Structure 1
Amino acid sequence: MKIFISGGTGFVGGHLIRELISRGHEPRLLVHRRAPAIEGVEQVEGDVTRPESFLDAAQGCQAVINLVGIIREFPSRGITFQRLHVQATANMLAAAKAAGIGRYLQMSALGTRKDARAEYHRSKFRAEELVRASGLEWTILRPSLIYGPGDSFINMLAGQLRHAPVMPVMGNGRYRLQPIHADDVARCFALSLELGETIAHCYDLCGANRLSYLELLDAIADAMGKPAPLKPHAPLALMKLIIPIMQHIPQFPITSDQLRMLLEESICDGGWQKTFGFEPRDFKEGIREYLKKGHAKT
C-alpha cells in the first residue's frame, strides 16, 4: 500500500516508516525540503499549513497518515496549536479527498477531550472532530507520553541527571504517567491499516507500566546506572506564578499548559491491546536500551 504521510520526519515518524517498510508498504513523505534518500521512501516537498504546496502530492496513494503535532507554541514564529493541529488536519483531510483516498489515520494524544484544561488537548480535540466529520474511513490513535531512542522528554531528564544528581519536582510528584514505546505506537498505526475493525474508532494508547513522576525519575537513574536522585519539591503555588512569566523564553523547559497536563496524569486502561493483539514493551527495559553512556540524545 502506498501511504501519504505528514509529520513523518519527526521522532515517531522514523519508527513508523521503518514499521511500514518492514510490512511491505510504500511511504510517501511530505517534507519541507528533501533529505538524503531512504530506500523505499518517496519524498515530496510541501508545507502542511499551505495546502496549495502539496495539492497533488497524495495522488496515487491508498491511505493518509497525519502525525503533525507540537507540544508548545511559539506564536511569533507562526507555531501555534490552531495552525499545526487544527488547520494542518483540515488540509490533510482535503488532500485525501482530492486524491480520492478513503482511509485516514490521525495521531492525537491521550487526554484529548472537548473540556480539557490544556489548550494542547482542546486543539487536538478540534482536529479530531474534523476527522470524525470527514466522511472518510478514519482511525484516531491517542498515545500517552511516547519514549524511545531520540525522544525529547526522557532524554531531557537523563541529560539533567548526567550533570547533577538532583531533580526538582513540581508539587508532590505522585501524578502518574504510563509511557508507551514509539515502536508500539508505530505498530498500532501499521496494524490499523490492516484491521478493518479499527475504522471509525479512537484508541487510547498507553504502556505496560504506571509510574508516578517520582518513580519515573528513579527508573531513569537506574537505567543509567546511577543512584536515585535527590528530589527537592517546588511548591505548586509558586510554580504557577513563575511559569506564566518564564514560559515566553524558548529555553525555559515547561509551559503552564504542560504543567496542567502533567498534573492531571496520563494513564489508560490498556483496552487497546484487545484490538491490536500485543503487549507493550516494559518501560524500564525500553529506556535501558538507549540510556547507556554515549547513546542517549544530547
Structure 2
Amino acid sequence: MTEILQIPKLITVFGGSGFIGRHVVRALATRGYRIRVGCRRPDLAGHLQPLGAMGQIQPVQANVRVRWSIDRAVEGADHVVNLVGILAEGGRQRFPAVHDFGARAVAEAARAIGAGLTHLSALGANEHSQSSYARTKAAGERAVRETIADATIFRPSIVFGPEDQFFNRFANMARYSPVLPLIGGGETRFQPVYVGDVAEAIARAVEGSVERGTTYELGGPNVLTFRQCMEEMLQVIERRRMLVSVPWWAAELQGAVLGMLPGKLLTSDQVTLLKSDNVVSAEAEREGRTFDSIGIQPQSTGTILPSYLWRYRAAGQFSRNNEA
C-alpha cells in the first residue's frame, strides 16, 4: 500500500520577526508546522531561519496597513497569528492604523480563507483609557471579535526575555548613569511575563488545545512595582544605582521632549499608560482565563533575568556570582 504523505499545516504569523515573534516562530517550528512570516522587511528576517528545519520558515513581505499584502500572506494558511503592535508612533506607523485597522484587516483576511485566528493584544487595553495605545488595542480586540467570534485573544502584561526593551534598556542605562528614574514614584504595578511562556500559550492556541473564543490575561507568578523591577534588575547586574522618583508632571514633560527625538526613549502616551497598573484582573482569575487554564506554569523574573542580563555586569560572564 502506498503511504500518503501528510503535509504539515501552514501557519501565517504577522510580526513574526519581532521580539515576541521569534519565540512564537520557534514554538511553532518545534511542533512541525510550516511557517510563513509576514513582515515589512523580510530581508532583515534571516535570524528566523535557524529556528526551524531548512525551508520550514518563509519570511514574506507584508504590512498590516496594506490589505492586499495581508491577503497574499495568508493564502493557503490553516491558521493566522497576529502579533503586530507598536509602543510608540513614528512615520506612517500610527496606533489606529496598526492596532485597529491592521487587526481588522488580518481578521477579515483570515475569515475569507476559513482560517483560525490568534490575536495578541495587551493588558490594559481599554477603550476608555486616556492612552492612545490602550484605546487602539481595545479597538483591535473589538474588530477581531466582530470579524471572527471564536478567535483567541491573549493579553500579556509587560513581556521580558533576552531581547526585551524593558529590563535591557534600564540595565544598559545603569552601565553609564549613576541614577535611574522612577516615573511617578515607581509605584505602578506590573506582572512581568516571560516571552517563552507567552509563545507557548500562542502555540497551544494554534494547535487547538486552548479554548477558542476566549480572551486570556497572561501574567507572571509575581506582581512587582516599577521600583521592585529596578531593584531586582540592579541586583542581577550587581550594580548599585540611586533610584530617583520623577513626579508625573516632570515625566510628562520628559515624554513630550523625548518623544520627539529619534529612538523615542519615552513618550507622553507611555507616561499616561504608566499611571495604570498592568496586572491580571480578578475577573480573569475568577473565570479561569489565565495561564492556569492553559496548563502553563509561568516562570519568574528571578529565574530568567540572570540568564541574559549578566552581560551588563562589570565582568560580564566572568562575574564571580554569574548564574547564567
TM-score between the two structures when normalised by the length of structure 2 = 0.84
1:230 pairs with one of 242, 248, 251 = 242
2:251 matched residue in structure 1: 239
Instruction: State the shift of 1:43 in Å.
Output: 2.4
SS of match in other structure, 1:293 = helix
Instruction: State the shift of 1:177 in Å.
Output: 1.1
CA spacing shift, 1:252–1:105, aligned 2, 3 Å: closer
Q: Does 1:274 align with 2:292?
A: yes
CA spacing shift, 1:252–1:99, aligned 2, 3 Å: closer
2:15 pairs with one of 4, 7, 16 = 7
Q: Does 1:199 align with 2:217?
A: no
Q: Does 1:87 align with 2:101?
A: yes
Instruction: State the shift of 1:150 in Å.
Output: 0.9
2:305 matched residue in structure 1: 287
Structure 2: segments with no counterpart, 5+ residues: 1-8, 317-324
Deviations 1:115-173 (A, max 9, x none): 12211010011111111111353000001000000111110000011113311222221
CA spacing shift, 1:59–1:182, aligned 2, 3 Å: same
1:104 pairs with one of 111, 117, 124 = 117
Instruction: State the shift of 1:24 in Å.
Output: 1.9
2:195 matched residue in structure 1: 182
Q: Does 1:253 align with 2:261?
A: no
Deviations 1:189-247 (A, max 9, x none): 011123455211101111111111111111001111223x2112222223334433442
Structure 1: segments with no counterpart, 5+ residues: none
Separation in 2 of the partners of 1:243 and 1:54?
34
SS of match in other structure, 1:167 = strand
SS of match in other structure, 1:137 = coil
Return the letter of the residue paired with 1:264. Answer: S
Return the letter of the residue paired with 1:157. Answer: F
Aligned residues: 292
Separation in 1 of the partners of 2:97 and 2:215?
22
Q: Is the 8 A contact 2:81 2:117 kept in 1?
A: yes
TM-score between the two structures when normalised by the length of structure 1 = 0.91
1:27 matched residue in structure 2: 35
1:18 pairs with one of 26, 30, 38 = 26
